[in-house]
A and B are shown apart, each in its own frame.
Chain A
Amino acid sequence: MALKVVIGLEMHCELNTKTKVFSKSLNNYNDIPNSSVTAIDLAFPGTLPIVNKEAVKKAIKMALCLNCEIPKVLIFDRKNYYYPDVPKNYQITQNTKPIGINGKIDVEVNNELVPITIHDIHLEEDTASLDHYFDYSLIDYNRSGVPLLEIVTDPCIYCPEAAVAFLEHLRNIYKYTDCSEADTKKGQIRCDVNVSLKEENSTELGTKVEVKNVNSFSNVYAAILYEIKRQTELIEAGKNNEIIQETRRWDEESGTTIRMREKVESIDYKYYVDANIPKIKIEKEWIEEIKSEIPLLPLERKAKYIKDYNLSSYDSGVLVKAKEVSDYFEECLELGINPKEASNWITSQILGYINKHDVEIDDIFLTPKRLLNILNYLNKGTISSKQAKELFYLILDEKEEPEILIKKYGIEQIDNDEELLLIIQNILDNNQNQIEEYKAGKTKVFDYFVGIIMKETKGKANPVKAKEILLSKL
């Protein structure tokens, strides 16, 4: 009996607004506990939510990126449950009319486009953080009320690779649209993963197991693999009934999932419309305006690079994988750098460097402008391509302007005909035997001479010119 995995994802991501979603407190990362907190965030009696326009706008933007239907009116609901990280003991979220429904987006998995359908996108508030100590916990409400967007897929993903590709793609869209920093390291992204197994040809879904609060994409991948293994083993052992609808959590240390809630009875969150927030019309014009602000998204940029700049599919894919890299590339083009040349430098040299040194492309000293400088020297023949690479690393390491480094290290091509002639003549004079060999038809000797020229000039000789002169002298 062949089993097929069916995966559904819920991705929570904090939006990068200036203030919180329902209060004017700052939405920032602050180490000082309870420093970005006002009365609303602590649910003091009489306080009321005031909805942040920018948060709604960014939520709509994401919904549009995922081709969702946007409702005509904005409605928020309460999700009622008692837990100390929600001071109101209800979370304001969207249930009646999520900001986006019925979306669809294609994701590239192993060079193939896989469609993912979006059940809904809803805007809600993040919770406070609890710090646990030996026998007590402390509550810091700085995160309380940070706008949180939850994107829920249908159970439409059939392999862990596609799940991760989807999440990476989403993270990219968040960054491309400037809706979020989308930094997993800062805990801005958290995922719930629903995994079930079904028989290959069956239309019926298996029992769904939810793995909650997975904080990195590699852990999402590992958790799915683990659940497939665990559930497969249970089914193969005939213990299907031991797969129950439950909530588990990913335990990084053991690399397993652990049951969180023993109770089979699911919690009733008693969703109900929050009357404190009037129904607000979402005007068509506003949606159009938001739509017009959406930049080209990764796959669109990729298509453009292939079509307009003749780049390979592979290179284009590498360029759009991170928005910062793609932006760097486009800045290069704006400066007039040839697309192919820019792509080559970025995909081979620059990405190699930033990966090796674990730095961000925005932080390196070699800005597109300085790259243009290098290329100008190269194209003018002032430096050789080998020298260009040398200069490239010097700029990165020493954080100095190219002009200064060229002077400092004497990086300059010998371009002068007379000077080259002198050097070449001298070499030929000392290698009479090889000249004879060449004349006898051993053309390989030509390369031998080029090698010596380069060695003698420490690579500074203009290779094209040197070859021309060498040929004429032979």
Chain B
Amino acid sequence: MIRKLHNKIKNNEIISDDLVKEAITNAEKSQKELNAFVTIIKDAKRIKSDNLLSGIPVAIKDNFSTKDILSTGSSNTLKDYIPYFDATAIKKLQESGAVIIGKTAMDELGMGGTGLIAATGPVKNPWNINKITGGSSSGSAAAVAAGIVPYALGTDTGDSIRIPAAHCGIVGYKPTYGLVSRFGVFAFASSLDTVGVLSTSVEDAAIVIDQIKGKDEYDMTSWNSENINLLNSLDGNVKNKKLFYIKEICDINNYEEKNDEVIKTLKEFNKTIKKCKELGIEIEEESFDQKLLDSIYPTYLTIASAEATSNMSNLTGIIFGPRGKGNTIDEMMKDHRTKGFSSLIKRRFVIGSYVLQKENQEKYLFASAKVRHLIVNKMNELFIKYDGLILPASSEPAPNINGIRSSHLRTEQYLAIANFGGYPSITIPSGFVNDMPIGVNITGKIKDDANILNIAYTIEEKLGYKNQTTKGWK
């Protein structure tokens, strides 16, 4: 999509200004039904360049710091926060001439996987507005799936790019941890947070990450990737590539609720596997200890909550954010935090704080971090033999909005494996179940993004859902 738009602009078939105007108009028109944006930037600025992204509109998840543009992280604690500096990824995007037309709503500060927990209200799925988008990069996923922008930046801590991508029928790519700088991205869980992209094709995802990746002096966990060029790695050659899937995750017998959607989703996954084999990709089954698989979600919850409660203790309304009421500074901070955070966040904070307590660390946090270690060791071992892990991105398509309780406990979060080990992981659309899109996910070894993207690119070609958007806002 990006290359096509770029060529059209270059050949004067379309004017960038019109493209941008159209995106802004569509964004505005979509708000009432999708509610994907926190801010729509009508006077979007840009610089001109020869870059593939030049003149093409983009939407940014609201947890990126954008200079002079409201950046709330969809939290009331930051409801009026206007940063005076850009995140590194934003700076690099702007250097390419990309035009930021809006900031997208998200589950508050990245927490929650539904898309329902933004300060600006729930984000709706463009395929069916009674369905959730998944989260936390909900607005970004909705905006791309609705064709408002060809791509959007997101962040992924557990599956926050890859689940909404699956639910919205688009591509969601979480690169290797540190491939893109986290500077200026509101921290959720520092050892898991990754900047990534939502787009309608693997090629577009490659173009965008090529532009924003790189070692950043302001993020010590970023690393030098000069030898990686994702776009040039997409050659469609998957000869001798080997993938595995985890038997227990793909076996209907392991699911408590054997409903129609799960059955169909797993069936679709089998079809996808068959098509992959037709491409010449070797696919094998590997078995995991069910206990270990069941531990992924609580382990994730424990680690992410512990890191989050510490990371977000800077949100007190003293230096930024609305000052709370009270006679003492503690009262002010408490008022700010009590009113500013949603119930879900508070719950995570309390859990995080509980597991961080000295007397609980061993039993909770360290035990979880050891499970994380075990899983990463297992994966690293498998990645000696295989290029990647292939899984259904979700065991079902997007659920109904009104079917979700606010205290909804998710127990399935297999995609977090990629965050545990910092692995590159990409979801691509793989079909439909009951008229809602589903996706397939591929996860590979660290710094092997080029290989994983090329495999995804080749499978995408075969599956035929490239450049897929809903027709609603075009």
Q: Do A and B come from one complex?
A: yes
A 45-67 to B, binary, CB cutoff 8 A, 1 in contact else 0 = 11111110000000000000000
CA distance A176 to B277 in the complex (A): 70
B470 near A: Cβ within 8 Å? no
The residue that B310 contacts in the complex, of A50, A78, A268, with Cβ under 8 A, is A78
B319 near A: Cβ within 8 Å? yes
B128 near A: Cβ within 8 Å? no
CA distance A87 to B321 in the complex (A): 13
- State the Cβ distance, A280 to closest chain B Cβ, in Å: 8
Residues facing A in B179-201 (CB within 8 A) are: 182-187, 189-191
Chain A residues lying within 8 Å of B313, measured Cβ to Cβ, are 80, 82, 88-90
- Name the residue on A nearest B221 (C-beta): A278
Let me know if A272 and B186 touch, CB within 8 A: no
**Interface locus among B10-18, B77-85, B390-398, B443-451:** B77-85
- Name the residue on A nearest B369 (C-beta): A273
The residue that B219 contacts in the complex, of A43, A48, A82, A274, with Cβ under 8 A, is A48
CA distance A47 to B219 in the complex (A): 8
A 33-49 to B, binary, CB cutoff 8 A, 1 in contact else 0 = 00000010011111111
Chain A residues lying within 8 Å of B85, measured Cβ to Cβ, are 39, 44
- Name the residue on B nearest A90 (C-beta): B310
Residues facing B in A253-272 (CB within 8 A) are: 268, 270-272
Let me know if A276 and B190 touch, CB within 8 A: yes
Chain A residues lying within 8 Å of B316, measured Cβ to Cβ, are 82, 89
Chain B residues lying within 8 Å of A90, measured Cβ to Cβ, are 310, 313
The residue that A270 contacts in the complex, of B71, B217, B220, B353, with Cβ under 8 A, is B353
- State the Cβ distance, A83 to closest chain B Cβ, in Å: 9
- Name the residue on A nearest B83 (C-beta): A44
A352 near B: Cβ within 8 Å? no
Interface of A is mostly: loop
Let me know if A88 and B190 touch, CB within 8 A: no
CA distance A43 to B320 in the complex (A): 10
Interface of B is mostly: loop
Chain B residues lying within 8 Å of A89, measured Cβ to Cβ, are 313-314, 316
Chain B residues lying within 8 Å of A274, measured Cβ to Cβ, are 190
Let me know if B182 and A46 touch, CB within 8 A: yes
- Name the residue on A nearest B357 (C-beta): A268
Let me know if B333 and A272 touch, CB within 8 A: no
B330 near A: Cβ within 8 Å? yes
- State the Cβ distance, B103 to closest chain A Cβ, in Å: 14
Let me know if A270 and B190 touch, CB within 8 A: no
Known: A46-B185, A80-B310. A272 touches B356 (CB 8 A): yes
B218 near A: Cβ within 8 Å? yes
Let me know if B220 and A51 touch, CB within 8 A: yes
CA distance A287 to B361 in the complex (A): 33
Let me know if A46 and B183 touch, CB within 8 A: yes
CA distance A88 to B357 in the complex (A): 19
B147 near A: Cβ within 8 Å? no
Chain B residues lying within 8 Å of A88, measured Cβ to Cβ, are 313-314
Known: A45-B65, A47-B183, A50-B217. A270 touches B356 (CB 8 A): yes
A84 near B: Cβ within 8 Å? yes
Let me know if B319 and A87 touch, CB within 8 A: yes
CA distance A78 to B330 in the complex (A): 21
The residue that A46 contacts in the complex, of B87, B217, B307, B357, with Cβ under 8 A, is B87
- State the Cβ distance, B231 to closest chain A Cβ, in Å: 27
A277 near B: Cβ within 8 Å? yes
CA distance A137 to B365 in the complex (A): 37
Residues of B in contact (CB 8 Å), total 45
Let me know if B307 and A82 touch, CB within 8 A: no
Chain B residues lying within 8 Å of A137, measured Cβ to Cβ, are 329
Known: A45-B187, A46-B182, A82-B316. A278 touches B220 (CB 8 A): yes
Residues of A in contact (CB 8 Å), total 30
The interface centre, meaning the residue of B84, B306, B318 with most chain A CB atoms within 10 A of its CB, is B318
- State the Cβ distance, B423 to closest chain A Cβ, in Å: 16
B73 near A: Cβ within 8 Å? yes
Chain A residues lying within 8 Å of B320, measured Cβ to Cβ, are 44-45
- State the Cβ distance, A180 to closest chain B Cβ, in Å: 25
- Name the residue on A nearest B71 (C-beta): A45
- Name the residue on A nearest B84 (C-beta): A39
B358 near A: Cβ within 8 Å? yes
Residues facing A in B158-189 (CB within 8 A) are: 182-187, 189
A1 near B: Cβ within 8 Å? no
Residues facing B in A207-228 (CB within 8 A) are: none
- State the Cβ distance, A248 to closest chain B Cβ, in Å: 22
- Name the residue on B nearest A137 (C-beta): B329
CA distance A87 to B318 in the complex (A): 9
B 202-226 to A, binary, CB cutoff 8 A, 1 in contact else 0 = 0000000000000001111100000
The residue that A87 contacts in the complex, of B63, B183, B217, B314, with Cβ under 8 A, is B314
Chain A residues lying within 8 Å of B182, measured Cβ to Cβ, are 46, 48
A32 near B: Cβ within 8 Å? no
A422 near B: Cβ within 8 Å? no
Chain A residues lying within 8 Å of B365, measured Cβ to Cβ, are 272
A275 near B: Cβ within 8 Å? yes
- State the Cβ distance, B303 to closest chain A Cβ, in Å: 10
- State the Cβ distance, B241 to closest chain A Cβ, in Å: 31
- Name the residue on B nearest A269 (C-beta): B358
- Name the residue on B nearest A84 (C-beta): B329
Chain B residues lying within 8 Å of A49, measured Cβ to Cβ, are 220
Let me know if A45 and B329 touch, CB within 8 A: no
Chain A residues lying within 8 Å of B83, measured Cβ to Cβ, are 44-46
Chain A residues lying within 8 Å of B219, measured Cβ to Cβ, are 48, 50
Known: A42-B319, A88-B314. A80 touches B220 (CB 8 A): no
Residues facing A in B304-325 (CB within 8 A) are: 306-307, 309-310, 313-316, 318-320
Chain B residues lying within 8 Å of A51, measured Cβ to Cβ, are 220
- Name the residue on A nearest B88 (C-beta): A46
Let me know if A270 and B184 touch, CB within 8 A: no
Known: A82-B330, A89-B314, A272-B365. A48 touches B78 (CB 8 A): no
- State the Cβ distance, B127 to closest chain A Cβ, in Å: 32
Let me know if B310 and A270 touch, CB within 8 A: yes
- State the Cβ distance, A137 to closest chain B Cβ, in Å: 8
Chain B residues lying within 8 Å of A275, measured Cβ to Cβ, are 189-191, 221, 307
CA distance A174 to B184 in the complex (A): 36
CA distance A137 to B184 in the complex (A): 29
Chain B residues lying within 8 Å of A278, measured Cβ to Cβ, are 220-221
Let me know if B318 and A84 touch, CB within 8 A: yes
CA distance A72 to B228 in the complex (A): 31
B 322-337 to A, binary, CB cutoff 8 A, 1 in contact else 0 = 0000000110010000
Chain A residues lying within 8 Å of B353, measured Cβ to Cβ, are 270
CA distance A51 to B85 in the complex (A): 21
CA distance A44 to B183 in the complex (A): 11
Residues facing B in A70-121 (CB within 8 A) are: 78, 80, 82, 84, 87-90
CA distance A49 to B187 in the complex (A): 12
The residue that B357 contacts in the complex, of A43, A45, A270, A276, with Cβ under 8 A, is A270
Chain A residues lying within 8 Å of B64, measured Cβ to Cβ, are 46
Q: Which 7 A-B pairs have the closest CB atoms?
A: A275-B191, A89-B313, A270-B356, A46-B184, A275-B190, A43-B314, A45-B186
Known: A46-B182, A276-B220. 7 other contacts (CB 8 A): A42-B319, A45-B320, A47-B218, A49-B220, A50-B220, A51-B220, A270-B357
23 residue pairs bridging A and B, Cβ less than 8 Å apart: A39-B84, A44-B85, A45-B63, A45-B315, A46-B64, A46-B185, A46-B186, A47-B218, A48-B183, A50-B217, A50-B220, A80-B309, A80-B356, A82-B316, A84-B318, A87-B314, A90-B313, A270-B353, A272-B307, A274-B190, A275-B190, A275-B221, A276-B221
